[in-house]
Amino acid sequence: MEAIEAILKRRSVRRYRPDPIPEEHLRRILECGRQSPSAGNRQPWHFVVTRDPDLKRRVAEACNGQTWMADADVILTGVGLPEVSRGSTGRLWYQVDVAIAMQNIILAATTLGYGTCWIGAFDEGEVKQVLRIPEELRVVALTPIGVPAESPGPRPRRASQEVFSRERFGGGWT
């Protein structure tokens, strides 16, 4: 599958089969995150791979009770490292950098036939407690990764004229 095909095929999957992801597939998916670009190449990320059924259930509960997440083989938690992120300007880029890496992971999973769902609704303190993430680090996003038990269709998108401009903001798009 080509990258563009994976981007256009990716869907938010909320139902999973109990099948495990082969270790070699999981390692390839994670490597796509590790190879992601980051500001100043600081790589201000850490990813927690959770497969333990009890921990997955507790993490899913910490994600506003989205218990369906625990049905996936893996719940991946993207953690930002703020102090690693701080560049010469003092601006912190960890949220953007973790998001880029998570997107690479999600697209790699899609390419290999797995389902994912970007999770931004969570109680950070609770997720940190369950996964023993140090207080000074930040949970940016999570995603289940697993064999999909559904094939959702495309969701509506805003028209191109609403999201693109030529040359300057509001310059129109045809």
Q: 172 lies in a domain? A: no
pLDDT of residue 1: 63
User: Residues 117, 64, 105, CA angle at the centre, nearest 5°?
Assistant: 25
Query: How many Å from the N-terminal Cα to the C-terminal Cα in the chain?
Result: 30
Chunked mean pLDDT (size 10), the chain, 174 residues = 88 96 98 97 97 98 98 98 86 96 98 98 98 98 97 91 91 83
The rounded distance, in Å, linking the Cα atoms of 170 and 168 is 6
CA distance 77 to 47: 5
In a domain, 117, yes or no: yes
Residues 66, 123 contacting (CB under 8 angstroms): no
9 in any annotated domain: yes
pTM given for the model: 0.94
94 domain-assigned: yes
The predicted structure's pLDDT at residue 125: 98
Q: Give how many domains the chain has, as a whole number.
A: 1
Q: Which two tokens stand for residue 148?
A: 């999909």
Q: Is 113 left (phi over 0), alpha (psi -120 to 50) or beta?
A: left
Predicted confidence at residue 171, as pLDDT, reads 84
Range of the domain at 9: 3-163
The CATH number covering residue 96 comes to 3.40.109.10
Q: Report if residue 81 sits inside a domain.
A: yes
Q: Is residue 127 part of a domain?
A: yes
Give the whole-angstrom CA distance, residue 28 versus residue 164: 34
Q: Are 123 and 131 in contact (CB under 8 A)?
A: no
- Provide the sign of the torsion angle of the four alpha carbons 49, 54, 59, 60, taken in this order: positive
Element (H, E) at 107: helix 94-111
Structure tokens at 84: 């690693």
In this prediction, residue 138 carries a pLDDT of 98
DSSP 9-64: H--B---B-SPPPPHHHHHHHHHHHHT---GGG---EEEEEE--HHHHHHHHHHTT
Residue 173 located in a structural domain: no
169 belongs to a structural domain: no
